[in-house]
Amino acid sequence: MNAVSLGPLVLSHERLHALIALAAFTAAIELAAWFWPNLARSTRRWSLIALASWGGAARIGYVLAHLDAFAGDPLSVLAFWQGGFNPVAGTFGLALAGFAAILRQPQAVRPVIAAAICAGMAYAVAVWALPVEARGRLPQVTLPATDGTAIPLADAGGRPVVVNLWASWCPPCRREMPMMMDVAASRSDVAVRFANQGETRSTIVRYLESQQLPTNGVVMDRSGVLMGGFGLLGLPSTLFFAADGRLMAVHTGEISRAELTRRIDELSRETR
């Protein structure tokens, strides 16, 4: 299981790691502002500049590394909640912010650097305590398609398999599905299955028809075998299996075209 449930909110471990690091950074900045009230305003201002510099540079670095995926939908660059940050580029942006602080207000640099170190340590502890793991195998189950055909989930002709768990009532599922079906149609090196969780055939077909989406690859998991079997906490969830059936990665929440393409490329390289 690579997610935690906080009431109705489900967070992947990666997002939880980032939130813990952000909380540690904020706490360290506020502690510094309390100890040195004469530097409070400049410390807070430069801490925000540092965060914005890291986030902006990390996002730009990721987008530049996946330009093909963003070219068809430039506005998806702003969908930062889907993830997609380059830590190396972010560190470069943070260094530029630090250099600017040294030139403008050198007294604010030390607290911000100390807070960044605290954030890094908190992140390392979070990764150690809540590792991102992918364990399991593609189950040998047969699920019905919307036309009643029995589809063996593991029968992919020796190709890797991507399984997306979704439901028509789930807003992020609805947002990502057209993109995922478009990617699935363009890739012959991987089999993509869309396993609906718990809904009736009529509900599924009515939704797909209303959105003018094909039924190719859509299967019905009425009893939630996949969700329960892999200990998944929320929808959408996307599982990536190698050609030999090993579970290689789990993505909890809405996925971007760039991340989906990257994961599929990794599966293809694993198969060669």
Over residues 65-82, the pLDDT tens digits come to 988 888 878 888 888 888
Q: Are residues 123 and 150 in the same domain?
A: no
* In the predicted structure, residue 51 carries a pLDDT above the cut 80: yes
pLDDT tens-digit readout, 164-195: 999 999 999 999 999 999 999 999 999 999 99
Q: Are residues 114 and 9 in the same domain?
A: yes
Number of domains in the chain: 2
d(CA 146, CA 208): 11
d(CA 74, CA 258): 12
Among the candidates 129, 158, 173, a domain finishes at 129
Q: Are residues 233 and 196 in the same domain?
A: yes
Identify the three-state secondary structure at position 121.
helix
Q: Which residue has the higher pLDDT, 4 or 246?
A: 246
Quick one: tokens of 161?
A: 């398999």
pLDDT tens-digit readout, 197-217: 999 999 999 999 999 999 999
Reported confidence tier of residue 52, pLDDT bands at 50, 70, 90: very high
pLDDT tens-digit readout, 116-147: 999 999 999 999 988 877 778 999 999 999 99
pLDDT for the residue 142: 95
Report whether 225 contacts 139 (CB < 8 A): yes
CA distances from 58 to 27, 54, 61, 100, 208 (A): 22, 6, 5, 18, 36
Report whether 83 contacts 15 (CB < 8 A): yes
Q: Are residues 148 and 32 in the same domain?
A: no
Q: Are residues 251 and 184 in the same domain?
A: yes
Residue 135 resides in a domain: no
Q: Are residues 164 and 258 in the same domain?
A: yes
Among the candidates 71, 94, 129, a domain finishes at 129
Q: Are residues 61 and 96 in the same domain?
A: yes
Q: Are residues 117 and 23 in the same domain?
A: yes
pLDDT for the residue 272: 66
Q: Are residues 218 and 146 in the same domain?
A: yes
d(CA 248, CA 263): 9
Residue 136 resides in a domain: no
Compute the average pLDDT of residues 85-94: 92
DSSP conformation class of 147: T
- What residue has token string 């470069």? 92
E strands, the chain, are 3-6, 9-12, 142-144, 150-152, 161-166, 191-197, 218-221, 237-241, 247-252
CA distances from 41 to 38, 47, 103, 106 (A): 8, 10, 17, 14
Among the candidates 74, 105, 129, a domain finishes at 129
Measured at the alpha carbon of residue 155, what is the angle toward residues 167 and 169, in degrees to the nearest 5? 0
Return the percentage of the chain with pLDDT > 90, whole number. 71
Identify the CATH number of the domain in which residue 235 sits. Answer: 3.40.30.10
* In the predicted structure, residue 53 carries a pLDDT above the cut 70: yes
Residue 31 resides in a domain: yes
d(CA 6, CA 16): 11
Compute the average pLDDT of residues 109-115: 91
Q: Are residues 224 and 154 in the same domain?
A: yes
Report whether 253 contacts 16 (CB < 8 A): no
Query: pTM for the whole thing?
Result: 0.84
pLDDT tens-digit readout, 242-251: 999 999 999 9
Residue 102 resides in a domain: yes
Q: Which residue has the higher pLDDT, 233 or 241?
A: 241
Q: Are residues 163 and 116 in the same domain?
A: no
Q: What is the residue-averaged pLDDT of the chain?
A: 91
pLDDT for the residue 8: 64
Residue 137 resides in a domain: no
Residues of the domain holding 264: 142-271
* In the predicted structure, residue 4 carries a pLDDT above the cut 80: no
pLDDT for the residue 192: 97
Residue 28 resides in a domain: yes
Q: Are residues 33 and 114 in the same domain?
A: yes
Burial of 111 from C-beta contacts in 10 A (0-12 / 13-18 / 19+): buried
Residue 243 resides in a domain: yes
Measured at the alpha carbon of residue 117, what is the angle toward residues 113 and 120, in degrees to the nearest 5? 135
Q: Which of 165, 143, 157, 237 is nearest to 190 (CA)?
A: 157
Residue 134 resides in a domain: no
